A = this chain, B = another copy of it.
């Protein structure tokens, strides 16, 4: 069983990371406040969207539209929901690493309020993702369109945050080599995946499909990262995180959900290291300086490089720069200059003529890298 931490016990713990891979029993905001600053990599939140919240309802502090003054209860509910949303999002922001990101899922009942609150709190929306359901519940009365999707918001904790994890290359490779879009298609959680009690009834009313969480986690975390779910419910986030070699921490108030989630996670076997390796692109490969090509003799001073169409040419100089007419500079700068553009990847722009064909100097870089690879 995944370990369960009563909140009071967690507060007494001397180990600042005792909560990793466990379920904290308690109120969402109180539990978040017991965790260290900047300690989790990704948050996945599936907050309640029932507007009839348990707590006291507050009168709106600003007077609202005159046309709607008879709808007092309705407005009071929105106010209370907004206050709740603000509170848990603020608590999430503190425990999230600056390089982390947060996902929130909801429907049209609540997602607009969540999105606006995220923006008000200076989170920076990266995408809104549409989960298209293959098998949504029909609209029985024929008075609306079939509500066939839910919406997730993916955001970083600051507009300037740049270092968040996004496994772009792996997602693209797994998607027929085209980049992953913002609309995802998955079945709802049913069948064997759906947790059921001894009475045969579903344990949790809104259990999310593991496939959805798997894509979220594969997209925005690395193996070993910590994924927090402040509304843990039946523990889908924890089960998928464990299976995918990530750490998790869940917060949940209801003992029944905790019991079900704990048993569920205990039954999950993590995948092995090979299966969990994430495909990375060129950005992750080691830098190779152009001078290394000269030092290794793959390219020689005085040699002429051209672009793929032989429209532009340049001479290699001994210091690792190129010269063309009166211009000179790095392979990138000179490539940009001769084309009259701002930027250029010199590795793919410049070619050598081997007698038969033009070959990009990027191939030499690959040779260097494979040599480096053999060294370790």
Contacts and interface: CB of A to CB of B under 8 A. Distances in A.
Interface of A: 58, 62, 64-65, 67-68, 71, 74-75, 78, 90, 93-94, 107-109, 111-116, 118-122, 125-130, 132, 134, 136, 138-139, 142-149, 151, 153-154, 159, 166-177, 179-183, 185-187, 190-192, 211, 214-215, 218-219, 244, 271-272, 274-279, 281, 286-287, 289-292, 294-296, 301-302, 315-321, 323, 328-330, 332-333, 339, 341-344, 371, 374-376
A298 to B, nearest CB: 11
A182 B289 contact: no
14 contacts: A65-B122, A111-B115, A113-B115, A126-B143, A142-B166, A145-B154, A148-B181, A174-B294, A176-B290, A177-B330, A211-B296, A215-B295, A218-B320, A244-B318
Which 3 pairs show the lowest CB-CB distances between chains A and B? A174-B320, A112-B115, A211-B295
Given A122-B65, A323-B274, A130 B149 contact: yes
A185 B319 contact: no
Given A147-B182, A295-B215, A119 B78 contact: yes
A167 B204 CA distance: 35
Contact of A275 (B111, B142, B316): B316
Contacts of A175: 289-291, 320
B301 A271 contact: yes
A80 to B, nearest CB: 13
Stoichiometry, copies per complex: 2
B143 A376 contact: no
Nearest to A219: B145
Contacts of A218: 318-320
Contact of A177 (B109, B328, B332): B332
A214 B182 contact: no
Contact of A302 (B183, B272, B278): B272
A148 B317 contact: no
**Which of A114, A128, A138 has the most chain B CB atoms closer than 10 A to its own CB?**
A128
A198 B281 CA distance: 44
Contact of A173 (B119, B190, B272, B321): B321
**Which of A94, A122, A281 has the most chain B CB atoms closer than 10 A to its own CB?**
A122
Contact of A114 (B68, B112, B142): B112
B179 A146 contact: yes
A164 to B, nearest CB: 8
Contacts of A146: 179-182
A171 to B, nearest CB: 8
A177 B347 CA distance: 13
A252 to B, nearest CB: 25
Contacts of A215: 291, 295
A320 B171 CA distance: 7
Given A173-B329, A275-B302, A319-B167, A341 B62 contact: yes
Given A173-B333, A376-B191, A302 B271 contact: yes
Nearest to A136: B181
A145 B180 contact: yes
A229 to B, nearest CB: 19
A175 B321 CA distance: 9
B90 A329 contact: no
A319 B278 contact: yes
A335 to B, nearest CB: 11
Contact of A122 (B74, B119, B145, B276): B74
A318 B213 CA distance: 13
